[in-house]
Structure 1
Amino acid sequence: MPEVPVSSSNAPQTSSTLPEEVVQCLQNARFLHLATSSTDAMPHISLMNYTYLPSSPYSASAQIIMTTPPGTQKTANLLQNPRVSLLVHDWVSTRPPTLTSGRASSPPPAASRSSLATLLLGMNTAALSRISATINGTAHFVAHGSEEEKWLKARHLENNTFGSELDDGEDDVFGTSPAESSGDGGRGRWVEGDEVRVISVCVEDVRISDYKGRVTDWKITGATNATGNGALPNGI
């Protein structure tokens, strides 16, 4: 008989800290998907740069930090409904060449990156734990113009690479933001602008799915979700 994936049928496990594998996933991943909902229950998903903070001078609890201009759909949704769901995964996957048309993809993947980039990508892929984490929580906009907002935005800028090219002119295949025509990876519009708002998400529960189909649920309790690790994961 084929192996049946293990489902999450028992009560969630509880912890005051994020599970170690979720922290590792947040360290390895380049982006996350942010799901919000409008007042008429229309779901909306955004691909986001993020910064995970085990703690900060303004919060003893773990936070996931993102930024957005005020005119976005996600902003409108969050002002009405702060409940969010995040999806983050730490595996690397590529679509195989499409052969139905009788020709391979062009250009071949290896042709678009240097040998050093390929080596580093292979090393990074080998270190992945191959899980996905669905994270549920409550989001809030940090007070605009506050010292907390300035501090969090500075950490977010430090923790993400927004340039579209490396110094030698090669494509930055390890950057944490898709390249845009402005050449700054959207840094000016999405992070640095005076009108840009900082979103902070407090994690409440997590569902972990591994590559074998096993599922584990966790309920995060207590005021401190610190990992005991002062690093600022994401895009490393």
Structure 2
Amino acid sequence: MEQQITLNHEASAGDTHKRSTSTLPPEVVQCLENARFLHLATCTDNQPHVSLMNYTYLPSSPYSPAPVIVMTTNPASKKTNNLVENPNVSLLVHDWVSHRPPTSHRRPSGGSPGPEHRSSLASLLLNLNTSAVSSISATIGGSARLAERGSDEEAYYRQQHLENNTFDQEVVPGAFHSQHQQQQQQDSNSTGDGQGCFVAGEEVRVVVVNIKDVRISDWKGQVRDWDIVPQDGPAPAINGAR
């Protein structure tokens, strides 16, 4: 029988080993730099809504000495309406490989193929997934706002986000490129496939999330909490866009 690794069912309803910091923990920064998308959760009238988003992480900028996360959105979207009504948002980001491992008792309605039906590519993805189980996921709490339309701040964040999310087709292979195009069209409400339209469109609004707290979770169920507090004095402007 294969040895099972015991999970740590640590109580996590409250603050767990909370610390305060003026910068994000290094493992969270690495996660934000590695991942391509995050999940944005907004809520109004006790009705939660989750969106898959392109994003840009900036450790600081001319407009904020603190770390921010920049996104763009269709002004007529549900998430835009939600964050205008309630700026409190939650973000989930991780760099785990998302390939689903095979289940021991496969059902007709789901589950991945067993070894006898698995392609070499699927086996490679499974191995990558196994090697990534020591990664963390980060739940980020923050306050979101729409950058003022036509402002220098909006232009700056839009440009950083565009540079960070514009890819050459030859480096965005296969299904990943298709997923990337679908996300562009979703955020821009555009039927075109022009690169960058989801950022550069005139009607697209720039969302800036000021980070308030972070929860780091690992695959064993261990959690750590951090409060992000303003640092003393202005920080140098750093371009954190990749």
- Say whether the fold is shared (TM-score over 0.5): yes
For residue 166 of structure 1, report the CA deviation from its aligned partner. 2.5
Is 1:183 matched up with 2:193?
yes
Q: Choose from 198, 213, 227 the match for 1:219.
A: 227
Code of the aligned partner of 1:214: Q
Code of the aligned partner of 1:166: E
CA distance in 1: counterparts of 2:240 and 2:16, whole angstroms = 33
Greater Cα offset, 101-110 or 195-204:
101-110
In structure 2, the CA distance between the partners of 1:80 and 1:73, relative to structure 1 (3 Å rule), is same
Q: Choose from 173, 178, 184 the match for 2:176.
A: 173
Q: Over aligned residues, Cα RMSD in angstroms?
A: 3.7
In structure 2, the CA distance between the partners of 1:128 and 1:16, relative to structure 1 (3 Å rule), is farther
Higher helix share: 2
Q: Secondary structure of the residue that 2:220 maps to in structure 1?
A: coil
Q: In 1, are the aligned partners of 2:65 and 2:236 still within 8 Å (CA)?
A: no
Name the structure 2 match of 1:133: 138
In structure 2, the CA distance between the partners of 1:128 and 1:213, relative to structure 1 (3 Å rule), is closer
Is 1:206 matched up with 2:211?
no
Q: In 2, are the aligned partners of 1:31 and 1:176 still within 8 Å (CA)?
A: no
Name the structure 2 match of 1:110: 121
Name the structure 1 match of 2:204: 196
Return the TM-score normalized by structure 2. Answer: 0.75
Name the structure 1 match of 2:24: 18
Is 1:72 matched up with 2:82?
no
Give the gaps of 5 or more residues in structure 2: 186-190
In structure 2, the CA distance between the partners of 1:228 and 1:43, relative to structure 1 (3 Å rule), is same
CA distance in 1: counterparts of 2:192 and 2:130, whole angstroms = 30
Give the gaps of 5 or more residues in structure 1: 112-117
Q: In 1, are the aligned partners of 2:58 and 2:238 still within 8 Å (CA)?
A: no
In structure 2, the CA distance between the partners of 1:49 and 1:43, relative to structure 1 (3 Å rule), is same
Q: Secondary structure of the residue that 1:79 maps to in structure 2?
A: helix
Code of the aligned partner of 1:74: K
CA distance in 1: counterparts of 2:11 and 2:170, whole angstroms = 44
